[in-house]
Structure 1
């Protein structure tokens, strides 16, 4: 539950530091004193969007910090799942900078707004006047039934299979759309594949053909060069090999009288052998090379086919063309097998849909039982609140298609009069009646949920007198059983029932206006409630009435 609240440089609040007690407490103050500002600050701790305009004029940032005692509420799983340190005193802090930057902390560890919002929903429920409109929202009404029937695990199981079913439907739509598109493209794909297959391409072919084309294009030049080199080496008259042979014989003849000539002869013989081998190879290559216009034309035609295919498909290698060929083959295979895949997915969707319906039926059964309990409880709660002829009915229907929360539709029907027709609650209930209905719903939910702190912002609007006293009874009862209830009120009957009484007020100085909040002493409470009874002027009668109200608490 909320133990303390610290606010700095937020709107009209320069600095505020207040402690809160357990049980039922009240906050009073003139309109515009700053009660809504405090609620706005709490909203930031619950993950609401920050507005730099809310930073106090002249300040660089605002800070809101709240301390909660969570020792009795079993919240360790949240901290474990979010890798946060668990302590029995939980600290939420939000900092908003004039630059627009915002930071959030849980137990002094940086946290996301999503984490802060999730934790905040476990810690505190702020009921403002506009929340009365939720009575007409089907999602809220459905949530009431789920809370009372403790449907958390059943709903989670349903949502899991529903998500799986919707994903299967999405996959089915996707594959059908793709199959239709592929069917339309089938002729094009088949033509491209056949053209590539007919080309019978192979890796490395292009480089070999390009080299062969170069050789064939210069055949005469190559052949003439090889012939000339061969003549230089092997000519009978003046050829290198002939002269080298003479040199070799001369050195052999000298080696008996000049030993060095033997070594030179060996080297000359080695050179002679190598050059003779080269000469023979040149002669062989010369015979291999021939001018073949027919083969050149054939090679160029093949290269032109390769170049045309590369240009058409915007690639630069045969490897890429072969990859395209494989891709087209796979697409054709997918087209032929898509019908089978579609049938399999349809069958899977049918199986999942049956699971969804089966799990939805479990939800419906639990909600139907909860609906009857809601009708019973609401009647018993509203009669003491000045509605002796009230009728409250939970109308349930069925959706055409299962949604994320099941197949059920819910509508709260209401009539406050004997001869009244049951209608949608927001259509027939007055503001005061809606406030009483909403308080009864909250009290009913509070009995089923371990919510540490509930804040009511003027839920008593439109009621007075004895009804206000009864509403105070309900809030006081809700404040028991280790729960904290704080009511912002303008009614003395409710203000007098709080275990603690806080007053919000404004003070002006020479430069600015500041909002403050403080806990009232017993004597101050008498005066505050007397003012609420009689207005600005305190009368003895009002003071006596205030003492009587407080004495009856």
Structure 2
């Protein structure tokens, strides 16, 4: 859970450090004081999108740091998989620079925002005001059902099968298209391949041929110099070579070994030189061109190959290595044109098998969704009954739809909020206040399933008041017994239910505006809740009502 949040130079927040309770933490304050900035800071350390506009004017960067403990096992596994040390605490940091760049750190070590986002995804679930509208979308309703039914593994298996089926379908269309292409295309490919196959080029042939041509063109010069070098070592009829002279040297030195024993080592060194000199001579002899070799004929053959290589490069606009690589693609393309019927038959059989697998998995997925739907609807309805919606009727309507990456089901949440009314799509009849409570109910039920450690509600109180607000406060307090909850609210009934209440307050001097964050004691909470009730923190009646709300919370 989020144990501590530190912020520097984030919009109107110059510097703040906030310690959180492990139960219900509530943020209150005047509209515009900076509560949304605080949520934005938390979103930043979770890898969310950030803008340079949130950097405090006149500073180089904003820094947000979050300290987490009681880490889920899934997070510990991801840390280990990405090469991070796994400790009891986790420090996430995000630096947002005034030039628009941002950097991320995990336990002080630089990382990518993508890795930060992946690891942080299972630490906190943030619910903002706009998320209520997402509840109306059919895809999101299906995802809620799949989350409750723990269908992620099955969905992954199904998606793999569906992608394989789709890939086979595309391949069949591609081969069919190529099969119907004109014979001219096939003939063109054959001409290209026949030309390349005739010469059997290698990828580095151009350089090899050029080097050999250069040698042949200078064969006489090369032969003369290599012969002279060999003669210098071996000698001829009139002159001793280096080898013979070195042998005499060795003999002379060796003859003195009895008189000067130290010369034995010198004689050994001369012997080593003789061996090396012989090796050099042998290599020179091997490189002397064969006088019987048809130099002119070989030169002609090689020059023809080089001419073909250069022509091909001009023709295809690339080097020989790339041409040869392309030739494999041409070969496969020609094969598909020539053998289209056999390939299509084979692919069709594979597609049939893949389709049967997709249908089987989709049916299993449908059955699991139907099984989870009744139980989830009952649990959400029970939550909503407590949240002052006693006449709620809610069902997940599952009907067969076209087969897609997510299955073959159309999922729609249908509700009736008043007695005697028919079930209708939620998008048609739910009010803002009802949506807020439905989302809270959904989040609460899913949190029990997913075992989320921390949840954030940014103004879950939209559209509610009175008894409904009190019920929402009670539900948040109850939910916080098993997980940490952070909540931004404008309602006294919800603020009074907090275990920790934090006041977000904006002040200003002649030059700048500042936002401070203060943890309130009992008296501070009374004044703040009185302000929420009447707008006057010193109003006696409002203070009395605020105290009553706080004391009532303490006896729950």
Report the TM-score, using the length of structure 1 for normalisation.
0.75
Paired position in structure 1 for 2:510: 510
Paired position in structure 2 for 1:395: 397
Unaligned runs of 5+ in 1: 212-302
1:153 and 2:153 aligned: yes
For residues 84-139 of structure 1, the C-alpha deviation after alignment (integer angstroms, 9 at most, x for no partner) is: 22122111100111222211111112222222222222011111110001111223
CA contact (8 A) 2:469 2:491 kept: yes
CA contact (8 A) 2:75 2:123 kept: no
CA contact (8 A) 1:135 1:412 kept: no
The offset of 1:462, in angstroms, is 1.4
CA contact (8 A) 1:70 1:90 kept: no
CA contact (8 A) 2:394 2:415 kept: yes
Change (3 A) 1:183 1:131: farther
Which secondary structure does the structure 1 equivalent of 2:31 belong to?
coil
The offset of 1:72, in angstroms, is 5.3
Choose 151-160 or 13-22, whichever is displaced more: 151-160
Once residues 332 and 151 of structure 2 are traced to their aligned partners in structure 1, the CA distance between those partners, rounded to angstroms, is: 48
Which secondary structure does the structure 1 equivalent of 2:497 belong to?
coil
What does 1:388-467 align with in structure 2 at a 5 Å threshold? 388-403=390-405, 405-467=406-468
Once residues 195 and 79 of structure 1 are traced to their aligned partners in structure 2, the CA distance between those partners, rounded to angstroms, is: 56
Paired position in structure 1 for 2:22: 22
The offset of 1:409, in angstroms, is 1.7
The offset of 1:331, in angstroms, is 5.6
Paired position in structure 2 for 1:216: none
Once residues 357 and 470 of structure 1 are traced to their aligned partners in structure 2, the CA distance between those partners, rounded to angstroms, is: 45
Number of aligned pairs? 452
1:118 and 2:118 aligned: yes
CA contact (8 A) 1:46 1:120 kept: yes
The offset of 1:182, in angstroms, is 6.5
Paired position in structure 1 for 2:48: 48
Give the aligned CA root-mean-square deviation in angstroms.
3.3
Change (3 A) 1:427 1:309: same
The offset of 1:143, in angstroms, is 1.7
Once residues 392 and 453 of structure 2 are traced to their aligned partners in structure 1, the CA distance between those partners, rounded to angstroms, is: 31
Paired position in structure 2 for 1:93: 93
Which secondary structure does the structure 1 equivalent of 2:122 belong to?
helix
Once residues 389 and 33 of structure 1 are traced to their aligned partners in structure 2, the CA distance between those partners, rounded to angstroms, is: 38
The offset of 1:398, in angstroms, is 2.2
Once residues 543 and 162 of structure 1 are traced to their aligned partners in structure 2, the CA distance between those partners, rounded to angstroms, is: 62
Which secondary structure does the structure 1 equivalent of 2:4 belong to?
strand
Which secondary structure does the structure 1 equivalent of 2:24 belong to?
strand
Choose 169-178 or 64-73, whichever is displaced more: 169-178
Choose 53-62 or 93-102, whichever is displaced more: 93-102
Once residues 452 and 164 of structure 2 are traced to their aligned partners in structure 1, the CA distance between those partners, rounded to angstroms, is: 32
Once residues 196 and 366 of structure 1 are traced to their aligned partners in structure 2, the CA distance between those partners, rounded to angstroms, is: 58
Change (3 A) 1:193 1:132: closer
The offset of 1:40, in angstroms, is 1.2
Greater Rg over alpha carbons, structure: 1
CA contact (8 A) 1:431 1:461 kept: yes
Once residues 473 and 329 of structure 1 are traced to their aligned partners in structure 2, the CA distance between those partners, rounded to angstroms, is: 72
Once residues 45 and 28 of structure 1 are traced to their aligned partners in structure 2, the CA distance between those partners, rounded to angstroms, is: 22
CA contact (8 A) 1:47 1:113 kept: yes
1:350 and 2:386 aligned: no
Paired position in structure 2 for 1:105: 105
Once residues 136 and 51 of structure 2 are traced to their aligned partners in structure 1, the CA distance between those partners, rounded to angstroms, is: 29
Paired position in structure 2 for 1:367: 369
What does 1:106-505 align with in structure 2 at a 5 Å threshold? 106-181=106-181, 183=183, 185-189=185-189, 314=314, 332-403=334-405, 405-481=406-482, 483-505=483-505
Unaligned runs of 5+ in 2: 214-302
Which secondary structure does the structure 2 equivalent of 1:129 belong to?
coil
Report the TM-score, using the length of structure 2 for normalisation.
0.74
Change (3 A) 1:339 1:309: farther
CA contact (8 A) 2:529 2:537 kept: no
Which secondary structure does the structure 2 equivalent of 1:122 belong to?
coil
Once residues 108 and 193 of structure 1 are traced to their aligned partners in structure 2, the CA distance between those partners, rounded to angstroms, is: 58
The offset of 1:401, in angstroms, is 2.1
For residues 245-283 of structure 1, the C-alpha deviation after alignment (integer angstroms, 9 at most, x for no partner) is: xxxxxxxxxxxxxxxxxxxxxxxxxxxxxxxxxxxxxxx
